[in-house]
Structure 1
């Protein structure tokens, strides 16, 4: 896949998790935003900001602070930039009975302590950033 050309790739859970956490920190994103369970590969193309994570199984994670169930596919990918993930694929948040895909994640800059999740349907949900801190 051309998007992955020139990418740095880390294989295995331990190396993949380290790289994913380092990228989230570098771009000012909350560390708990991706559950990172049984990772087999993480990749990043510095030139374009394209990032991908491959995990062994689909993961559902409940963010308790905001009572939000989020589903993460076996492959998650998107473009990372400061305080933002764009063209995100592989992440869905439960809304009533529906699972609309999350397309974009934005952290306010300068910080207001808020994070915004946009879906392709044009719906934006805003939550406190701390709801997605590591360990939530």
Structure 2
């Protein structure tokens, strides 16, 4: 198995890890509140590949009140981050009726400003206003 973390920048501990996660979201023009993390152990990023990982002590569930959407973040989250997109995402699920389909891709729409798309592994795409994922939501 290839070690995606090789050559990565790593921050340990909640404060440093959270700072790095938020700065990555900002750098790639993604909403600050997209990853509401708690008790972060480690955050890492490999500039060459865009691979990002986050470890937190336990799974976190967060409700984005503006859109009444419950999202679950596993203790380990990873994916590849690029401008306005996270792809091959693992560790994030959004509640849909009684199901928790995994979210595999998040894209901020360039053609329709203010819209963000969440794509599940089942191929279902949901679109929401970007401001629903602002910091503090």
Tell me the TM-score range normalised by the shorter chain: over 0.9
Q: Residue 113 of structure 1 aligns with which residue?
A: 114
Query: What is the deviation of 1:111?
Result: 5.3
- Aligned-partner Cα distance in 2 for 1:18–1:122: 32
Q: Residue 33 of structure 1 aligns with which residue?
A: 34
Q: Residue 7 of structure 1 aligns with which residue?
A: 8
How many residue pairs end up in the alignment?
A: 136
Q: Give unmatched runs, 5+ long, in structure 2.
A: none
- Aligned-partner Cα distance in 2 for 1:94–1:111: 25
Alignment deviations for residues 24-79 of structure 1 (CA, whole Å, 9 cap, x no partner) = 00000001110111100000000000000000010000000000000000000000
Query: What is the deviation of 1:110?
Result: 4.8
Q: Give unmatched runs, 5+ long, in structure 1.
A: none
- Aligned-partner Cα distance in 2 for 1:26–1:36: 18
Q: Residue 99 of structure 2 aligns with which residue?
A: 98
- Aligned-partner Cα distance in 1 for 2:60–2:14: 15
Question: What SS does the corresponding residue of 1:2 show, helix, strand or coil?
Answer: coil
Q: Residue 17 of structure 2 aligns with which residue?
A: 16
Check if 1:44 corresponds to 2:45. yes
When normalised by structure 2's length, the TM-score is 0.97
When normalised by structure 1's length, the TM-score is 0.98
- Aligned-partner Cα distance in 2 for 1:54–1:40: 5
- Aligned-partner Cα distance in 1 for 2:114–2:84: 12
